[in-house]
Structure 1
Amino acid sequence: MKKCASREIKIIDTTLREGEQSPGVFFDLRVKKNIISGLAGLGIDEIEIGVACRENGDLNILADYIRMIYPQQFFSLWCRCREADILYGASLRPSCLSLSIPASDLHLEKKLGKNRQWALNRLRRSIQQALAAGVPRVSVGLEDASRADPEYARELALAAEEAGAFRLRLADTVGICTPGSVIRLLEVFDGVKMELGIHCHNDFGMATANTITGLEHGAVWGDATLLGLGERAGNSRLEEVLALLVLQKNRGSYNLKGLPELSRMVAEESGHEISPSCPIIGENIFSCDTGIHLQGLLADPATYEPFNPGLVGASRNLLTGSKAGRRSIVATLARLGLPLPDESGLTRLMRRIRSLAVEQKRSLDDQEIRELATSS
């Protein structure tokens, strides 16, 4: 499947469905509404608000909330191919009902005790039921697509297309894909007229890379969750996928400045910490105290920054510590309005700064720099 630079790319956030399946994670109704508001503010193309079943009592409230507060927001429900679930999901009037069917023999036989023909028949009937119930758009997800027989997976896809589905989501359910195998998986569906989507798990740390690869090689839709929340090792990280698309590939018009605040809220509510060095949203990713890097950043921030921190609501923090060089110290003195010593004095000050930073095991603050520079 060839790359297409002009092809539209869209993101599905599934934090409220896949993300809440993380062990120990539960979002109450207030938090779910806040997540929806945050995602709408980012400009996410589709918000998957949960699993269509009557036991999920928040769904009707969330569906009404989106229609009332964000009437232009596309939202969906994940749904098993069961008539009762389909009818319930349709009653909530989502923008899309996303039906899921196992594609691998392992899942069909071991989990459901069913065969391939059963899945084909059930998929056709379920799509017809959803459309007959008034669902405006039906999506089909092939569970465990990365371990399915390619010919059978394509047969499922063609059956879904014929029955009226508009989208096919391919799930790497146990996170075994690499970018290369994602490309090969997408090639199985060459000629299929439905829009393709990719849903990647992170069991081997490849979810974000696999999602981006899928979007580069034919997929229109990429799934992600805030902080990469999800079962086992989680899913593609929304913050990484959005930032790479916008800042490196000039795709999409997502509002990245809202990512840090939304991510911190979800981290607090889910009990998941955000590492200071976490890509895109970590507190320390724009901090630097390495002499040669500081020299480059002072000359031109692009030397050691892939994008302007302000684009994701962050700020640059140039530190003075155990690795500080002469140029960074000179710049710090100028910023503090302190006189520049002669060459020997600058050398002595550099040694004192480095020594104190090593002793304190941290970078020094402005007051400590001032005291060292003005003391005899």
Structure 2
Amino acid sequence: MKKIRVLDTTLRDGEQTPGISLTVSEKLRIATKIDEIGVNIIEAGSAITSSGEREAIKQITSAGLNAEIASFARAVKVDVDAALECDVDSVHLVVPTSDLHIEYKLKKTREEVLSQSIETAEYALDHDLIVELSAEDATRSDMDFLKKIFIEGINVGAQRICACDTVGMLTPERSYDFYKELSTLNTPLSVHCHNDFGLAVANTLGAMRAGATEFHCTVNGIGERAGNAALEEIIVSLDTLYGKNQNYSIEDNGSSIYQTDVNIQELYSTSKFVSRLTGVYLQPNKAIVGENAFAHESGIHADGVIKNAATYEPITPEFVGHKRKFIMGKHIGIKGLKNNLDEFGIKTTPEQLTEIFDKVKSLGDMGKCVTDVDLQAIADNVLELKREQKIKLEEVTIVSGNKVIPTASIKLKIDDKDVLEAGVGIGPVDAAIVAVKKGISEFADIELEEYHVDSITGGTDALIDVIVKLKMGDKLISARSTQTDIINASVEAYLSGVNRLLEEVN
């Protein structure tokens, strides 16, 4: 078994994603989360960048984390001094090595770059810093010069070397050959890949097959341009696709030939956490952690997964802390539909199930996705259940403005009795929900577990899709409303869920 170390650069390379600018508090929270899942090295930032960046790094180094804390540094002493001020454990000492960078960016000679690099590495080592000597644009560098810089760095005491595929020019085949050549230097070797051609993860895996013992990554693959190699994709690939005697059958229990310290079951929650703090939301089909990574609509797929998840899932969603979903649309099969109905406790005859199935298919053909609430309504109609809504919204009024505390007044009809309430909140939606909760407080203690809103169409008159998840006791349900008014949609979704919860409890 081969031990692989993980250097996470979400707080440095990841923060260079256009549009991301993290506060000191946010950087500390992300560092703490990354440390908790078992990452070995956290590149906390580049200390020379600003006083705010140094403050963030200082807070991270003083937080008592288990991971080694590193600062990015150029091959200049002032960068090392800034890192020393922050009390980091190591520097990621980055040196441009391609003629393109040396001539056009640095305007120096190879000899000048080599001399400056070794001098700075010695300076950092003399101040008791661990040095990871990293070659920028290494994959477009002359191999002899690249190896010369690494060898001289190793000779003065650099503990690790790293070759960066700065603009993602490697292919998996070339990655293997490239890092195989560098592995002959017999020093811990790191791989740092960018995703300009969508090959960062594949190239990183190729490098480790060739002898690299550490990889650089970011959570969700965020980073400049097309991003960096994604932590979650590499970790799961190492664990699942590189097993001993791997035959890919459900009976195969062979352990991976690579081992990391990362807690795989925390990958999804970490992905969501970083996405929320950075504001970089994931495309639904993102591997491993995307919302559709374990979602099934096709009837054939849903049927197979219900019988045995391994038929259409290479790993279980629980393995990475995710959840499986069956999507109701025109591709759904009757067994997937029945599975959803069973989850809602709706029992049907075969004839009733077929009628519900036909109605869902018809809506799908119209380009609509059937929500949980829609399915409940369809099933009610087919089963001839005419549910009386215990709580109905009669009226909602909002007062909000630049210097006005958002205030909502609502009128509910509860069992034919009018109930008037008011509430204030941090925004108009919050105020409306507070008022509703006060109106139903005598007979229902409902917790809002999750609130999500999407704009379905463009323009100021866009359709707003609100999804809420509500909990009462051990009952948990989702409800949805789609309207052009976000406040009405939010209140209607909330009340729809409340009515269903009350019906299930009673």
Length-normalised TM-score, structure 2: 0.68
Matches within 5 A, 1:235-274: 235-249=228-242, 250=256, 251-274=259-282
Q: 2:84 aligned to 69, 85, 90, which one?
A: 90
Matches within 5 A, 1:166-177: 166-177=159-170
Residue 13 in 1 paired to residue 8 in 2? Answer: yes
Query: What is the DSSP-based 3-state SS (H/G/I as helix, E as strand, rest coil) of the residue aligned with 2:151?
Result: helix
Residue 361 in 1 paired to residue 368 in 2? Answer: yes
**In 1, Cα distance between equivalents of 2:291 and 2:187:** 41
2:486: which partner in 1?
A: none
2:190: which partner in 1?
A: 197
**In 1, Cα distance between equivalents of 2:273 and 2:350:** 47
Length-normalised TM-score, structure 1: 0.90
Query: What is the DSSP-based 3-state SS (H/G/I as helix, E as strand, rest coil) of the residue aligned with 1:223?
Result: strand
| Larger RCO, structure (CA 8 Å, separation 6 or more) | 1
Higher helix residue share: 1
**In 2, Cα distance between equivalents of 1:91 and 1:333:** 60
| Offset, 1:375 | 4.4
Matches within 5 A, 1:99-118: 99-118=93-112
Verify the 8 A CA contact 2:39 2:261 in the aligned structure 1: no
2:216: which partner in 1?
A: 223
| Offset, 1:264 | 3.0
Summarize deviations over 1:202-261 as a string: whole Å, max 9, x none: 111111211122122211111111222222211112222223233444432422343333
Verify the 8 A CA contact 1:87 1:133 in the aligned structure 2: no
| Offset, 1:330 | 4.7
**In 1, Cα distance between equivalents of 2:376 and 2:190:** 53
**In 2, Cα distance between equivalents of 1:275 and 1:35:** 21
1:157: which partner in 2?
A: 150
**In 2, Cα distance between equivalents of 1:56 and 1:76:** 17
1:374: which partner in 2?
A: 383
Q: Which ranges of structure 2 fall in alignment gaps of 5 or more residues?
A: 243-255, 386-506
Verify the 8 A CA contact 1:38 1:258 in the aligned structure 2: no
Amino acid corresponding to residue 318 of structure 1 in structure 2: F
Relative to structure 1, is the Cα distance of residues 371 and 141 closer, same or farther in structure 2, using a 3 angstrom cutoff?
Answer: same
| Offset, 1:332 | 4.8
Amino acid corresponding to residue 13 of structure 1 in structure 2: D
Summarize deviations over 1:111-145 as a string: whole Å, max 9, x none: 1111111122122211211111221x211000110
Relative to structure 1, is the Cα distance of residues 264 and 346 closer, same or farther in structure 2, using a 3 angstrom cutoff?
Answer: closer
Query: What is the DSSP-based 3-state SS (H/G/I as helix, E as strand, rest coil) of the residue aligned with 1:58?
Result: helix
Q: Higher Cα Rg: structure 1 or 2?
A: 2
1:3: which partner in 2?
A: none
Amino acid corresponding to residue 325 of structure 2 in structure 1: N
Relative to structure 1, is the Cα distance of residues 192 and 37 closer, same or farther in structure 2, using a 3 angstrom cutoff?
Answer: same
Verify the 8 A CA contact 2:121 2:158 in the aligned structure 1: yes
Deviates most, 259-268 or 152-161: 259-268
Residue 327 in 1 paired to residue 351 in 2? Answer: no
**In 1, Cα distance between equivalents of 2:384 and 2:131:** 73
Verify the 8 A CA contact 1:54 1:88 in the aligned structure 2: no
Matches within 5 A, 1:136-147: 137-147=130-140
Summarize deviations over 1:270-302 as a string: whole Å, max 9, x none: 332212222222222222121100110111011
Verify the 8 A CA contact 1:161 1:193 in the aligned structure 2: no
**In 2, Cα distance between equivalents of 1:56 and 1:176:** 34
Q: Which ranges of structure 1 fall in alignment gaps of 5 or more residues?
A: 1-5
Query: What is the DSSP-based 3-state SS (H/G/I as helix, E as strand, rest coil) of the residue aligned with 1:285?
Result: coil
Verify the 8 A CA contact 2:180 2:207 in the aligned structure 1: no
Verify the 8 A CA contact 2:57 2:86 in the aligned structure 1: no
Relative to structure 1, is the Cα distance of residues 110 and 284 closer, same or farther in structure 2, using a 3 angstrom cutoff?
Answer: same
**In 2, Cα distance between equivalents of 1:349 and 1:57:** 58
| Offset, 1:15 | 1.2
Q: Please provide the CA RMSD for this pair.
A: 2.3
Verify the 8 A CA contact 1:290 1:324 in the aligned structure 2: yes
Verify the 8 A CA contact 1:145 1:171 in the aligned structure 2: yes
Summarize deviations over 1:56-82 as a string: whole Å, max 9, x none: 443355335434332x22111111111
